[in-house]
Structure 1
């Protein structure tokens, strides 16, 4: 018979962390930490083309993307650079 009361019975209480998720995050964090430490060694083994491709892929994680700014019709063009 289905529970139609809207009340929750059994399972984790609200706000209780999931142990498996926590353990998985810790394991992945350790693996990534080790790989990041080895990155300079791996980087030296790459060809120039591969290095450039890797740098291009990693660049968005270091520098923010530039968004284009456009001027709309009938919009005043004021520049408040030295206020």
Structure 2
């Protein structure tokens, strides 16, 4: 018979982590760490063009992207050397 009461019975309690998800994340994290350690060796085997393309693709994970800055209305413009 189906539960038509709207109450939850059985299963995990709210906030209890899923064991399979946790194990999968640990396994994937271990794989990623192993691959990261091999990047310098992989780069040596690539052609210069391919090495440059891969380096450019990896840069956003190392260096933050620069965002443009524009002054807001009614704000005075100050520069670092205006002390």
Counting only pairs closer than 5 Å after superposition, residues 17-28 of structure 1 correspond to structure 2 as: 17-28=17-28
Moved more, 62-71 or 26-35: 62-71
Unpaired runs of at least 5, structure 2: none
CA offsets 1:7-38 (integer angstroms, 9 cap, x no match): 21111111111011011011111111111111
**1:78 positional shift:** 2.4
RMSD across aligned positions (CA): 2.1
**2:43 equivalent in structure 1:** 43
Aligned residues: 82
**1:8 equivalent in structure 2:** 8
TM-score norm. by structure 2 comes to 0.81
Q: Which structure would you say has the larger RCO, counting Cα contacts within 8 Å and 6 or more residues apart?
A: 1
Contact residue 71 and residue 77 of structure 2 kept, 8 A: no
Quick check: 1:68 aligned with 2:68? yes
CA distance in 2, matches of 1:42, 1:76: 50
Unpaired runs of at least 5, structure 1: none
